[in-house]
Amino acid sequence: MFDLPVRRVGVFGGTFDPPHLGHLVAASEAAFECRLDEVVFVPAGDPWQKHHLNVTKAPARLAMTALAIGENPLFRISTCDIDRDGPTYAVDTVSDVAAEYEGEVDLHFVIGADSLENLHTWHRVEELCKSVKFIALNRPGHSRSEVDTSFGVEVEFIDMPAVDLSSTECRQRVRDGQPLRYLVPDPVAAYIAEHGLYAA
C-alpha cells in the first residue's frame, strides 16, 4: 500500500457575517503564495471573542459562505465549528479539520497579521502553535514588525492586494441602504436581500 501524499491545507476560520470579496482574495493569495492544495473555510459556531456582538445565526452564515466560494475546486467548507457544542476555539478547529483527512496533513492557519498581535489571548495557544503553522496576511498600512511571534509560532507572512473591506462595513452599508455589489459575490448579495439580513 502506498502512503498518501501529505496535503498542504489552509484553515480559514471566521464568522463570515457576511463573507466578502476580501475573504476570497485572502484565501486565494494564501493558496498561491504558500502552495496550498486546498483552503478550508470554517464558519464559526459560537465565536467566543464576539459574544458582545449580534452575530447572524450559523445556518445563514454557512449558506452565504457556500454561495461565496461557489464551485472553486481550491476551496471547501467544514462545518466542524458549527457542529461542535460550546465556544469556537482555533485549537479545536485545527484538530477537527485534521481529522477530516485520511493520512497526514500539513495545516496552515490563515489570519490577518493584525489578528496575530492578539495571539497571546487565544485559548490553549501553545498547544495550537505546536499543531499548525500560520499564514499571516499583511494588510495595507500594517507593519510586520508589530506582530508578536512568541509561543514558538511559525509564521509565513504574505502581502495581499489592497482590499480594504470588512464584514462590519458590509453590514453597515445594508443598514444605510447602500449597495453591496462588487463588495460581496452576487449570490451573497441576493441571499442577504432575500432574507432581510442586516436591515435597520
Summarised one tens digit per residue, pLDDT across range 88-133 is 899 999 999 999 999 899 999 999 888 887 888 889 999 999 999 9
Q: What is the pLDDT of residue 145?
A: 53
pLDDT-wise least confident of 12-16, 21-25, 116-120, 126-130 = 116-120
Average pLDDT over all residues of the chain: 90
pLDDT greater at residue 116 or residue 57? 57
pLDDT score recorded for residue 1: 47
Among residues 120, 110, 108, 112, which one has the least CA distance to residue 148? 120
Whole-number pLDDT of residue 119: 87
pLDDT at 51: 52
Mean pLDDT of 182-198: 97
How does DSSP classify residue 57?
Answer: P
The model's pTM is 0.91
Q: Is residue 21 a contact partner of residue 187, using CB atoms and an 8 Å limit?
A: no
For 127-157, what is each residue's pLDDT tens digit? 999 999 999 998 766 656 555 666 778 999 9
The CA angle 51-53-57, to the nearest 5 degrees, is 85
The side-by-side arrangement of strands in the sheet containing 133-138 is 75-77, 38-43, 7-14, 105-112, 133-138, 155-159
pLDDT for position 196: 97
pLDDT above 80: residue 2 = no
Instruction: Look at 3-7, 51-55, 176-180 and tell me which has the smallest mean pLDDT.
Output: 51-55
